[in-house]
Amino acid sequence: MHLIMKKFLSLIVAFGFGVSLLAQSNVYFTSEISADALVRVYQALGVPASGSVAVKISTGESAKSNYLRPELIYKLVNETGGTIVECNTAYGGVRDATPGHLMVIEQRGFNQIAKVDIMDSEGDMVIPVSDTTWIKYDIVGSHLANYDFMINLAHFKGHARGGYGGVLKNQSIGVASRSGKCNIHTAGESTITINGSNTQDSFLESMAAAAQAVHNYFKQDGKNIVYIDVMNNLSVDCDCNPLPAAPEIADIGILASTDPVALDKACLDLIFEYDPTPGNNPQPLIDRITELHGTHIIDYADSIGLGTKQYNLIDIDWTGIDEIDPQNPDPESLRYNVFTIDGKKILHNAKSLESLPTGVYIINGKKQAIIK
């Protein structure tokens, strides 16, 4: 190990959080986007699926939407014996009721790779929320009760209402029934419309509370949940847009974690630290996220205890899955996203911190000091 890396590991100082490097949540990364890579990054989590397995995806509003294609996800679904699950939309469209949604699923080819379940096709059910600031309960598809394990498989991209969509949105809005979606969108004001008098932050905070409700539901005895973000086709628009804007940056990779907050935070850092090159411009996506205060959901989810913004980014392309020790990640496999404390990007998915001079930085979501 390089001397400066040793100094970093031994002299790192945390401000305000009081946690060590290893107290951070592990986020596993592969730059390869393929069916095999999706299975590998899932396996790196070391949390094998068991019982009745739900694989939560978005089926996409049209064939032109950037939803995760069956040819990308089929190996993971088959490996885990999963059922693809979805809920109907709250806005008008082909997927706002079960018959049309099932037609879309058949057109997309999802039912050719696995069983597909519209979880609110027979109604909904209420699960408790820990944070009752806005919503007093979460209304989800009633079929959620049929599953023991969930793989939250999200396409990371921009979003016209939330700024961005990742696992937190896929778990809150995505698992909610039509009534539940309205409840979240209006911060508890209505279960029949997505339009209310609430603020943008109250909507984002309601999403965080709903995501926590689903997380807690699957953290009961005999149940579990894991999280995957696929960073491809990075449009400013969500898969709910039938005519999304063309992506302006290249695909980044696949990331996975048992902590949804750390996972979405790592993805956001990769976007905000993306280095522009000819033909690759991250600014439109950054602007979409910033204009809608999209990062607030991360801060709020951290504050209510859903997860942590602090993470170890572990590159599984560097080492074999069998060599990964989640409790003691090899320093050579760690990757770093670094900002100054005033938000200026310094390093993007870097393999080393050797270039950093003595100072205070935000390293993988954590305020830290480098002392040389």
Tell me: the pLDDT tens digits for 96-115? 999 999 999 999 999 999 99
Q: What's the CA gap between 238 and 170, in Å, rounded?
A: 11
Average pLDDT, the chain: 89
d(CA 40, CA 23): 24
Residue 53 CA to residue 84 CA, distance in Å, equals 9
Q: Is the pLDDT of residue 22 over 60?
A: no
- Bigger pLDDT: 349 or 78? 78
Residue 267 bridge partners (DSSP): none
pLDDT at 213: 98
pLDDT of 321 reads 55
The whole-angstrom separation of Cα 59 and Cα 66 is 9
pLDDT of residue 13: 33
Rounded-to-integer distance, Cα 48 and Cα 226, Å:
9
**DSSP 8-state class, residue 141:** E
- Per-residue pLDDT reduced to its tens digit, 148-181: 999 999 999 999 999 999 999 999 999 999 999 9
Which residue has 């997927």 as its token pair? 95
What is the pLDDT at residue 330? 67
Inform me whether the pLDDT recorded for 325 exceeds 80. no
- Specify which residues 231 forms β-bridges with: 253
Burial (CB < 10 A; 0-12, 13-18, 19+), residue 279, is exposed
- 184 token code pair: 């979240």
Residue 104 DSSP SS3: helix
Q: Which domains does the chain have, with CATH numbers?
A: 1-24+321-372 (no CATH), 25-309 (3.40.50)
Nearest CA among 242, 231, 259 for reference residue 30: 231
> Coil, helix or strand for 226?
strand
Greater pLDDT, 307 or 346:
307
Strand segments (E) across the chain: 13-14, 25-30, 53-56, 83-86, 116-118, 124-127, 138-141, 149-155, 157-159, 163-165, 224-231, 253-257, 311-315, 334-340, 345-350, 359-363, 366-370
CA distance linking residue 164 with residue 265, whole number of Å: 11
Secondary structure (3-state) at 213: helix
What are the residues facing 151 on neighbouring strands?
55, 226
Least trusted range by pLDDT, from 18-27, 49-58, 235-244: 18-27
Over residues 267-281, the mean pLDDT reads 92
> CA 316 to CA 84: how far, in whole Å?
26
| Residue 86, burial from CB neighbour count under 10 angstroms (0-12, 13-18, 19+) | buried
Q: Is a pLDDT exceeding 60 seen at residue 192?
A: yes
**Calpha distance 321→212 (Å, rounded):** 29
Residue 4 has pLDDT above 60, yes or no: no
- Percent of the chain clearing pLDDT 90 (strictly above): 74
- How far is residue 183's CA from residue 135's CA, in Å, rounded to a whole number? 7
Examine the pLDDT at 327 and tell me if it is beyond 80: no
Give the CA dihedral 313, 317, 320, 321, nearest 10 degrees: 50
Residue 137 in 3-state DSSP? coil
Q: Which residue has the higher pLDDT, 346 or 123?
A: 123
**Lowest mean pLDDT: which of 12-16, 89-93, 276-280?**
12-16
For 160, residues 6+ apart whose C-beta sits below 8 A from its C-beta are 237, 238, 241, 288
Q: What is the rounded CA–CA span in Å between residue 10 and residue 241?
A: 48
Range 276-290 average pLDDT = 95
